[in-house]
């Protein structure tokens, strides 16, 4: 490190889902804008999506053979201690070779061994916790972290109060300004300018219940004059695509993954989404009417907690996962049939946005590098 010349070495660890990966990339991009000569090393979990998405964003990544505990009785759990020891050893070697000035953990499997080894070597660490309910790994690592950047108030129930920085979640820069992008989005996705557009996103891996609800209502949605841009997730895409083709629907557009999210958001009149931390943070900046369908398959039901902060501010509508199949079109009809509600939801959700989150996180990071 040569601080006078703005030359730093920053290691960023974590991943597993887009909710961990995109904040990590946003932090790196914001730091690089301020200190262009910085060298970065990302550390992820082998076989997870960060091994593809991080190089796409222009950064180097190393993978650890690390995995999570399966909740069901599984033989794969027997190999966990060996994978953990292997990951700790490799994390230590990477730190020894790269010599980072600071290590950032964003959550996910790879975050724990890297932060643990960095803390053992007395390297400054920063945790970025995206959710309203902190994960076990971050709670354990918080004791020796220098700073903990959080996206929700009242996080002192999980972390030492003196280390907390309320920054919000960092998001992709391209969604901060959607002006003039709607026409590009309609053309990109082959959408009609004459139909109301529903954007359906179930997270980076897809959402089974939301996909089932779309299958149940897709004919009625098309016949009612809507068009749907539908991110199915890679596990569900082939099945969903085949069913849309079999039904001969021209205005239901299933896609495995939406890379140009700014264009997708720009086209939408209404957005149906899971309530993961990153989705919630991005949608507050987008400023559109949103229906949140929280996933029930997450620790401490934190997606419902994420969504309720918006519902209580009259900034979004909540539809329970258990009630979505058979009720999706009715909910869409009720909202889009009330232009005053559409306008109110779009206006109120923007009051909860934190557009400078990435900049505030890099200020916290800069402060811990001595």
Binding-site sequence positions for UDP-N-acetyl-alpha-D-glucosamine: 17-19, 131, 172, 204, 277-282, 303
Residues 98, 92: Cα–Cα separation, whole Å:
10
What's phi and psi for 50, nearest 5 deg? -65, -25
User: d(Cα 181, Cα 238) in Å, to the nearest integer?
Assistant: 29
What are the angstrom distances between the C-alpha of 240 and each of 48, 208, 246, 281?
A: 23, 11, 10, 28
What residue ranges in the chain does DSSP mark as E strands?
9-13, 39-45, 61-64, 102-105, 125-129, 147-150, 164-166, 196-201, 226-231, 252-255, 270-273, 289-292, 317-318
Question: What whole-number distance in Å separates Cα of residue 177 and Cα of residue 152?
Answer: 23
Residue 125 near residue 119 (C-beta atoms within 8 A): yes
DSSP string, 159-219: S-GGGEEE------GGGS--TT-HHHHHHHTT--TTSEEEEEE--TT--HHHHHHHHHHHH
Q: Report the distance separating Cα 189 and Cα 197, nearest Å.
A: 11
Furthest-apart CA atoms within the chain: distance in Å: 63
Burial class of 74 by CB neighbour count within 10 A (0 to 12, 13 to 18, 19+): exposed
N-to-C CA span, the chain = 10
- Alpha-carbon distance of 339 to 346, in angstroms, equals 11
Q: Are strands 196-201 and 270-273 parallel, antiparallel or unpaired?
A: parallel
Report how far residue 300's alpha carbon sits from residue 119's, in angstroms, rounded to the nearest whole number: 27
Q: Are 352 and 315 in contact (CB under 8 A)?
A: yes
């Amino acid at each position: 490190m040569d601080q006078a010349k703005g030359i730093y070495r920053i290691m960023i660890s974590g991943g597993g889902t887009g909710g961990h990966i995109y904040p990590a990339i946003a932090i790196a991009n914001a730091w690089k804008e301020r200190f262009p000569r910085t060298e970065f090393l990302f550390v992820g979990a082998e076989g997870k999506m960060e091994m593809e998405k991080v190089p796409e964003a222009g950064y180097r990544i190393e993978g650890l053979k690390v995995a999570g505990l399966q909740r069901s009785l599984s033989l794969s759990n027997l190999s966990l201690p060996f994978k953990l020891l292997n990951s700790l050893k490799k994390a230590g070697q990477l730190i020894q070779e790269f010599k980072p000035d600071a290590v950032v953990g964003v959550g996910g499997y790879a975050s724990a061994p890297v932060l643990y080894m960095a803390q053992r070597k007395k390297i400054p660490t920063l945790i970025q916790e995206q959710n309203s309910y902190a994960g076990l790994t971050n709670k354990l690592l918080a004791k020796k972290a220098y700073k903990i950047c959080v996206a929700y108030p009242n996080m002192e129930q999980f972390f030492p109060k003196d280390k907390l920085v309320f920054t919000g979640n960092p998001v992709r820069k391209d969604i901060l300004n959607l002006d003039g992008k709607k026409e590009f989005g309609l053309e990109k996705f082959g959408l009609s300018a004459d139909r109301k557009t529903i954007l359906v996103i179930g997270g980076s891996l897809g959402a089974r219940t939301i996909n089932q609800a779309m299958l149940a209502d897709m004919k009625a949605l098309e016949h009612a004059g809507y068009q749907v841009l539908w991110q199915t997730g890679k596990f569900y895409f082939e099945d969903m695509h085949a069913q849309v083709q079999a039904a001969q629907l021209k205005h239901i557009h299933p896609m495995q993954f939406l890379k140009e999210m700014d264009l997708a958001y720009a086209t939408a009149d209404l957005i149906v989404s899971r309530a993961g931390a990153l989705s919630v943070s991005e949608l507050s900046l987008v400023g559109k009417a949103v229906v949140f369908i929280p996933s029930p398959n997450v620790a401490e039901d934190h997606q419902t907690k994420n969504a309720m902060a918006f519902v209580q501010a009259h900034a979004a509508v909540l539809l329970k996962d258990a009630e979505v199949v058979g009720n999706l079109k009715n909910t869409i009809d009720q909202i889009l049939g009330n232009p005053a509600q559409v306008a109110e939801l779009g206006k109120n959700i923007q009051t909860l946005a934190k557009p400078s989150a990435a900049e505030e996180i890099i200020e916290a990071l800069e402060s811990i590098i001595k």
